[in-house]
Amino acid sequence: MKRRNTQRGMTLVELIVAFTILMILSGMAVPLARAKVRMERERELRYCLREMQDAIDKYKDYCDAGYFGPPKMGTNCYPETLEILVEGQKLNSADGKKVKFLRKIPTDPFTGTAEWGLRSDQDDSKSMTWGGQDVFSVYSKTSQMDAAGTSYSEY
């Protein structure tokens, strides 16, 4: 049988080489995509933590200035819960206006929930349990670690 000049196609060797190159390229792309997703989550985590810490600090500034009246005993002018930052705190004024510090509690990009670990100003800075007196700082409840081996709960 004679082969026609109009028939074209790939030989088995050419197909194997093409698929091998494709597998190598996709094998390199998957770890890069995972690293990109992880870096984006880390950036989002840092943003959420900074946003909540700024709200806590602003609440403390208002309380220290006496805008909420006398502070509750044992809180040292920090909010009692994160929800207070969202719901708002009444000002010590005749109109009873509320001041809100957060629109909503952000979602932790690693756990996918709005549940954060809380630390009181009387707790140890590395503590993973909350004393319950007030909210001095927040941390992620995930057990994952970044590329350098630092736990995300230490961010």
pLDDT in tens, the chain (155 residues): 555 566 677 788 888 999 999 999 888 888 888 889 999 999 999 999 999 999 999 999 999 988 888 888 777 889 999 999 999 988 887 787 899 999 999 999 999 999 999 998 887 777 788 877 888 999 999 988 888 888 888 88
> What is the amino acid identity at position 94?
A
Query: Do the domain assignments include residue 149?
Result: yes
pLDDT value for 55: 96
Query: Do the domain assignments include residue 63?
Result: yes
CA distances (Å), 28 to each of 22, 33, 34, 35, 51, in order? 10, 9, 11, 11, 35
Number of domains in the chain: 1
Q: In this structure, how many other beta carbons lie within 10 angstroms of the beta carbon of residue 83? A: 11
pLDDT, tens digit (0-9, with 9 covering 90-100), for 91-104: 887 787 899 999 99
pLDDT value for 101: 95
Query: Do the domain assignments include residue 105?
Result: yes
- The tokens for 87 are 């719901």
CB 39 within 8 A of CB 97: no
Query: Do the domain assignments include residue 39?
Result: yes
pLDDT value for 86: 94
- The tokens for 112 are 């996918």
pLDDT value for 123: 77
pLDDT value for 74: 72
Query: Do the domain assignments include residue 3?
Result: no
Domain that holds residue 41: 12-154
